[in-house]
């Protein structure tokens, strides 16, 4: 019982370390999966902007330049470090879509081209996606996300069915007054996409979107040829800086040597920052849990010192019968190591269990993701076992040396 109570510090310490690391790595896994939904670490996004940072303040950009679909084609043709380019004109939740049977749902749309699914590594569930001919002819077709297809059509196939998109458009009349009107457009469903999930970062669902040819969106909704968002994908993560420079060169070439109206954001930079934050969190949590291991090690040393005192006559008898100091040293040192190893093994099992429990609790408390993975790394399991054994050696060394240095005659006299 005394040994078990002594091992509690080691058990709790190992369990705490593994549980904290499991939750931290689970959070990292969630963010990596979320980044993959948005195109992964090779994605570079070009945003149209009206302001720029100058002398520590934001100033309005006077340029009349703006991005067009032709810029997408130019980047694709002239940038060797780029694997795919696709435009995006987005409205994330502002459209009322109506099905043929009176069903309706409020969702968003993305105006894209034929490269979108390839660039985003997104598979078709049923039917087909937008083609180059659809973009050239501004055809009134759409591809639905899985959630939106279910909302409008239930278990029925939406292929070939017609849906209505009701959008409120704001514009200025001839007297300069801002006016709003309802625009209703009809689209034929030609395909659906496999489920993608909800963006952890932005909170909207990829499955609650309709994908429409970019030219159709320009003609039917925006009324201009602007493309406010272009997604560029580098060949590799390491090629991202080179791809950014190539894209800037193309933009300057096509827009009177100007590029300040375009803001560039690389997914890689955000993920690198995330890696640093995740590392700092793991270090902090691991350090806190490590104090439990330190306390546990002190407990081991305390119990072994008591054991040396209680077993003095045994030590004297063994020495009188020929045991060498090294034999006594090994005896007590092995006891301390085994105690830490057993405590470490129990702590690993408890840590896995606590990690799973904390992951389930995190889902219910945070309610931001449907599932929080508990990632148990074999690397950290081995580190925990090695650390617990090291603690046994370190804190067991002094009691073992004290036991081995006892004189046989003095030890045998001990009551």
Q: Reduced to 3 states, what is the DSSP secondary structure of residue 304?
A: helix
What's the gap between Cα 108 and its chain centre?
Answer: 24
Contact 320, 408 (CB under 8 A): yes
209-213 vs 104-112, strand pairing mode: parallel
Contact 201, 273 (CB under 8 A): no
Q: Reduced to 3 states, what is the DSSP secondary structure of residue 46?
A: strand
What pLDDT score does 130 carry?
95
Please tell me the least confidently modeled range out of 120-124, 243-247, 265-269.
265-269
What's the gap between Cα 243 and its chain centre?
Answer: 24
What pLDDT score does 409 carry?
67
Q: DSSP letter string over 209-230?
A: EEEEEHHHHIIIII-S----EE
What pLDDT score does 93 carry?
76
127-138: average pLDDT: 94
The string of pLDDT tens digits covering residues 44-63 is: 889 888 777 777 777 787 77
262-266 vs 162-172, strand pairing mode: unpaired
- C-alpha radius of gyration, the chain, whole number: 33
Within 10 angstroms of residue 9's Cβ, the number of other Cβ atoms is: 23
Q: DSSP letter string over 234-277?
A: ESSSTTHHHHHHHHHHHHHHHTTT--TTEEEEEHHHHHHHHHHH
The string of pLDDT tens digits covering residues 186-204 is: 999 999 999 987 776 666 7
What are the distances in angstroms from CA 144 to CA 49, 132, 216?
Answer: 29, 18, 15
Annotated domain spans of the chain: 2-35+272-413, 42-267
What are the distances in angstroms from CA 359 to CA 277, 353, 367, 374?
Answer: 19, 10, 12, 6
């Amino acid at each position: 019982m005394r040994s078990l109570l002594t091992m509690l510090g080691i058990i709790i310490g190992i369990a705490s370390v593994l549980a904290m690391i499991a939750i931290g790595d689970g959070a990292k896994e969630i963010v990596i999966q979320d980044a993959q939904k948005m195109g992964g670490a090779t994605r570079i996004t070009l945003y149209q902007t009206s302001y720029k940072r100058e002398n520590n303040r934001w100033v309005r950009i006077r340029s009349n330049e703006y991005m067009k679909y032709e810029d997408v084609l130019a980047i694709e043709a002239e940038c060797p470090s780029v694997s795919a380019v696709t435009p995006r004109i987005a409205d994330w939740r502002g459209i009322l879509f109506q099905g043929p049977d009176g069903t309706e749902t409020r969702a968003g749309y993305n105006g894209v081209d034929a490269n979108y699914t390839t660039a985003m590594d997104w598979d078709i569930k049923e039917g087909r996606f937008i083609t180059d001919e659809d973009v050239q002819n501004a055809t009134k077709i759409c591809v639905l996300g899985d959630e939106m297809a279910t909302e409008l059509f239930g278990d029925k196939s939406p292929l070939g069915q017609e849906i209505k998109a009701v959008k409120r458009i704001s514009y200025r009349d001839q007297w300069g007054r801002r006016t709003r009107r309802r625009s209703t457009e009809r689209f034929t469903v030609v395909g659906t996409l496999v489920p993608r999930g909800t963006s952890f970062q932005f909170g909207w669902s990829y499955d609650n979107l309709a994908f429409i040819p970019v030219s159709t969106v320009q003609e039917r909704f925006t009324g201009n040829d602007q493309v406010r968002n272009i997604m560029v994908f580098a060949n590799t993560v390491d090629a991202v800086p080179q791809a950014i420079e190539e894209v800037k060169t193309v933009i300057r070439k096509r827009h009177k040597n100007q590029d300040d109206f375009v803001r560039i954001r690389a997914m890689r930079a955000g993920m690198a920052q995330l890696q640093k934050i995740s590392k700092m969190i793991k270090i902090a949590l691991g350090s806190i849990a490590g104090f439990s291991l330190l306390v546990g090690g002190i407990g081991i040393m305390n119990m072994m010192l008591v054991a040396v005192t209680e077993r003095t006559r045994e030590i004297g008898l063994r020495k009188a019968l020929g045991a060498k100091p090294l034999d006594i040293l090994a005896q007590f040192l092995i006891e301390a190591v085994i105690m830490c190893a057993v405590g470490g093994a129990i702590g690993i099992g408890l840590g896995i269990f606590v990690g799973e429990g904390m992951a389930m609790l995190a889902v219910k408390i945070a309610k931001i993701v449907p599932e929080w993975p508990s990632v148990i790394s074999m690397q950290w399991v081995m580190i925990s076992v090695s650390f617990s054994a090291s603690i046994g050696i370190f804190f067991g060394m002094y009691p073992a040396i004290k036991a081995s240095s006892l004189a046989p005659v003095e030890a045998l006299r001990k009551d």
